[in-house]
Amino acid sequence: MAQRLHLVFGGELIDPTKTAFKDVDDIHVVGIFPNYEAAYDAWKAEAQRTVDNAHMRYFIAHLHRLRDEGLPASATEELG
């Protein structure tokens, strides 16, 4: 069975209608989680904790989609 890792991270955005961070050095990495359910719970906790700041956003990144071991060259390898 393939492992499906998820990264939860967030920070303050320049504009709440976009996804550009105000300061990338200040991005809060919540953690890497073994499944979507655990990542969602962590995301929800951080989003609720920062609900008073409209510029704060947290995201779930599907790390398992970044690399497909079954392909000779994944899309991320082709970028480099």
Q: Which residue has the higher pLDDT, 76 or 68?
A: 68
Task: Compute the mean pLDDT over every residue in the chain, rounded to the nearest whole number.
Answer: 87
* pLDDT for 37: 95
Q: Which domain holds residue 54?
A: 6-70
Q: How many domains does the chain have?
A: 1
Q: What is the pLDDT of residues 50-70, one digit of tens each?
A: 999 999 999 999 987 776 666
Nearest to 10 by CA among 37, 38, 50: 50
Q: What is the mean pLDDT of residues 40-57?
A: 96
Model confidence at 4: pLDDT above 70: yes
Within-domain flag for 80: no
Where does the chain have alpha helices with state H?
A: 36-49, 75-79
CATH classification of the domain holding 14: 3.30.70.2400
